[in-house]
């Protein structure tokens, strides 16, 4: 089989119901390249890669290998063409050995004793690329780094010339990431090429030789790594044009509502991800948290809302300590939360709309008394949310999973705001929504602030933060790099802080 010397994607366009995920995207990668694909969540990187891997068909545009057009209808086609993809969540069978995982569906393995045959192949490839892994270990016995090596082996043994890796270091410890980069270097030495999807500027600079930046479905920059700095990349990622902000009542921030002091939180892997984090949110104030995702924003929010343990530090709500209290206690004290995955955490998809409208309060008076639900009242409540927050639903008796993302989000927001909490935490509330719904949600956040509440808004959409917030804090590696006033600040400063350089405001790095 001919190897991939040069792969091109030309004029790729792809829309999903109304949202343009890719607009006229071009990409070129040659033998021996490690191309970094950089962009915020929702910038269209994954869509583009799924097109290349044959999971989606592009609306327009084509893929060329060595100058010849390629028709990719399924992952099988792309595998045949020498394209392999390693997903963020490994496609491995936990209870099987490494050998069995690699032998699965492997055409050249013999019917009898395929493990024996695979062992030889695996040893050969392990030596060639420095992919050390014990072939007889079960997957669940392996660390994340070793599991990733199994995935790489799987792809290489299937003759993947071009390897697409979706945020490969997000599950790795720093030494494991270094080992991965060593492996990638060996691979390009053997004439393979790699596309690395990542949020991490540092990583792209250190391992890639070329970079392509995407924003809102378009390519906003492409360069050789030697010609750019981290700050350039951050700038390409966040864009420049910021439209006018929303109308807000001129209000002075009031008393502190949320005070976080020296908070430290661990990630799912048990490593510190929020480090010595301090911050105050006041009445009549929307504080935005900016930053490239994966810098501890999610874990910080989870710690504040009682969903994750705080290792150190204190969280105070209106002077009252709530550190490591249960999620229900914290909610009852007045912190309401619009979580980042609305289907998974914000609603119970199979319950009906009216039932979802009282979640977190369903066990209390007046919605229930002595274990009996007060359905007439609940339904009235649901009706009022629908009306007030313009939720477009056939009826309050439909399962919430039938609502569109925007309407689901309006319902969640309505539910969380209706009780006028002292603090509203919203994580990526407009992610994946159409323009109209996003605008509506932003206005409601401002409304909550004008009413006298405090709002903590975590978002990757810098434009949104600029339009809505009174203050923006930039988070990097679990710390606040600086806090700026959006009406009076240089967007370049934010880019610098997102890339880990403090601008002499509050951070301590560099």
Partner 1 sequence: MLEIITSILVRTVVAGTPLLLGTLGEVISERAGILNLGVEGMMSLGAATGFIVTFTTGNPWLGLMAATIAGALISVIHAFVTVSLRANQVVSGLALTMLGLGLSGLWGKPYIGRPLTTKMHAIRIPVLSDIPVIGKVLFYQDPYFYLSVALGILVWFLMKHTKVGITVRSVGENPKAAETLGINVARVKYLCVMAGGAFAGMAGAHLSTAYSKSWIEGMTSGRGWIVIALTIFALWEPSRAFVGAYVFGGIFVIQYVLQPLGISPNLLAMLPYATTLGVLLFYGMSKKGKRRMSAPATLGEPYIRGSR
Place of tokens 């002595």: 370
The least distance separating partner 1 from the CB of residue 37, rounded to whole angstroms, comes to: 21
Among 7, 65, 103, 219, binds partner 1 (CB under 8 A): 103
Cα-to-chain-centroid distance, residue 59: 25
Round to whole Å and give the CA distance between 444 and 440.
Answer: 6
- Is the distance from CB of 285 to CB of 298 less than 8 angstroms? no
The least distance separating partner 1 from the CB of residue 470, rounded to whole angstroms, comes to: 37
What is the DSSP annotation of 361-406?
TTTSTTTEETTEE-HHHHHHHHHHHHHHTT---S-TTSBGGGS-HH
Window contacting partner 1 (CB under 8 A); options: 73-81, 161-169, 453-461, 486-494: 73-81
DSSP class of 85: E
Cis bond before residue 390 (omega within 30° of 0): no
Window contacting partner 1 (CB under 8 A); options: 14-22, 107-115, 252-260, 369-377: 107-115
Q: Pick the closer one to partner 1 by CB: 121 or 210.
A: 121
Binding-residue total with partner 1 (CB under 8 A): 22
- Is the distance from CB of 221 to CB of 212 less than 8 angstroms? yes
Window contacting partner 1 (CB under 8 A); options: 87-95, 243-251, 350-358, 392-400: 87-95
The least distance separating partner 1 from the CB of residue 140, rounded to whole angstroms, comes to: 7
- Is the distance from CB of 235 to CB of 220 less than 8 angstroms? no
Round to whole Å and give the CA distance between 56 and 85.
Answer: 14
The least distance separating partner 1 from the CB of residue 138, rounded to whole angstroms, comes to: 8
Among 12, 34, 81, 109, binds partner 1 (CB under 8 A): 109
Window contacting partner 1 (CB under 8 A); options: 13-21, 23-31, 103-111, 188-196: 103-111
Say whether residue 92 binds partner 1 (CB under 8 A): yes
Say whether residue 73 binds partner 1 (CB under 8 A): no
Say whether residue 75 binds partner 1 (CB under 8 A): yes
Say whether residue 104 binds partner 1 (CB under 8 A): yes
Angular region, 318: left φ>0, alpha ψ -120 to 50, beta rest: left
Say whether residue 115 binds partner 1 (CB under 8 A): yes
Among 18, 67, 73, 105, binds partner 1 (CB under 8 A): 105
- Is the distance from CB of 84 to CB of 164 less than 8 angstroms? yes
DSSP class of 161: S
Give contact residues for partner 1 (rule: CB under 8 A). Answer: 75-76, 79, 91-96, 100, 103-106, 109-115, 140
């Amino acid at each position: 089989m001919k190897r991939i010397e040069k792969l091109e994607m030309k004029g790729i366009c792809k829309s999903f119901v109304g949202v343009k995920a890719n607009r006229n995207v071009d990409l070129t990668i040659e033998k021996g390249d490690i191309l970094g694909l950089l962009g915020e969540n929702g910038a269209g990187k994954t869509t583009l890669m799924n097109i290349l891997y044959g999971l989606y068909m592009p609306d327009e545009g084509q893929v060329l290998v060595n100058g010849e057009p390629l028709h990719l209808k399924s992952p099988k086609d792309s595998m045949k063409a020498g394209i392999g993809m390693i997903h963020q969540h490994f496609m491995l069978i936990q209870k099987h050995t490494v050998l069995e995982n690699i032998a699965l569906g492997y055409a050249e393995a013999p019917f009898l004793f395929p493990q024996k045959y695979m062992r030889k192949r695996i040893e050969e490839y392990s030596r060639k690329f420095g992919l050390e892994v014990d072939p007889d270990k079960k997957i669940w016995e392996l660390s994340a780094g070793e599991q990733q090596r199994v995935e790489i082996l799987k792809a290489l043994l299937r003759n993947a010339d071009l390897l697409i890796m979706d945020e490969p270091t997000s599950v790795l410890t720093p030494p494991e990431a270094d080992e991965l980069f060593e492996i990638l270097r060996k691979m390009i030495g053997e004439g393979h090429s790699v596309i690395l999807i990542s949020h991490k500027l540092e990583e792209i600079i250190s391992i890639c030789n070329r970079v392509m930046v995407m924003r809102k479905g378009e390519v906003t920059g492409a360069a050789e790594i030697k010609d750019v700095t981290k700050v350039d990349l951050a700038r390409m990622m966040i864009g420049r044009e910021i439209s006018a902000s929303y109308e807000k009542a001129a209000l002075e921030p009031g008393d502190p509502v949320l005070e976080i002091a020296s908070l430290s939180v661990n990630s799912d892997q048990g490593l510190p991800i929020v480090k010595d984090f301090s911050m105050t949110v006041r009445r009549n104030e929307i504080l935005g948290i900016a930053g490239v995702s994966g810098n501890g924003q999610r874990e910080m929010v989870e710690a504040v809302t009682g969903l994750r343990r705080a290792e150190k530090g204190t969280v105070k709500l209106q002077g009252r300590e709530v550190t490591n209290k249960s999620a229900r206690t914290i909610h009852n004290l007045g912190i309401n939360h619009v979580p980042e995955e609305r289907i998974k955490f914000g609603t119970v998809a199979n319950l009906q709309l009216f039932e979802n409208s009282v979640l977190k309060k369903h066990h209390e008076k007046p919605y229930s008394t002595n274990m009996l639900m007060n359905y007439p009242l609940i339904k009235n409540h649901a009706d009022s949310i629908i009306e007030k927050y313009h939720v477009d639903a056939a009826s309050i008796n439909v399962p919430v999973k039938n609502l569109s993302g925007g309407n689901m989000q309006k319902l969640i927001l309505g539910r969380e705001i209706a009780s006028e909490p002292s603090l509203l935490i919203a994580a990526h509330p407009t992610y994946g929504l159409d323009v109209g719904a996003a605008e509506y949600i932003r206005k409601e956040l401002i409304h909550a602030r004008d009413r006298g509440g405090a709002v903590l808004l975590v978002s990757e959409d810098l434009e949104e933060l600029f339009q809505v917030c009174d203050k923006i804090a930039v988070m990097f590696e679990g710390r606040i790099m600086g806090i700026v006033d959006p009406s009076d600040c240089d967007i370049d400063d934010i880019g610098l802080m997102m890339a880990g350089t403090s601008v002499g405001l509050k951070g301590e790095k560099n």
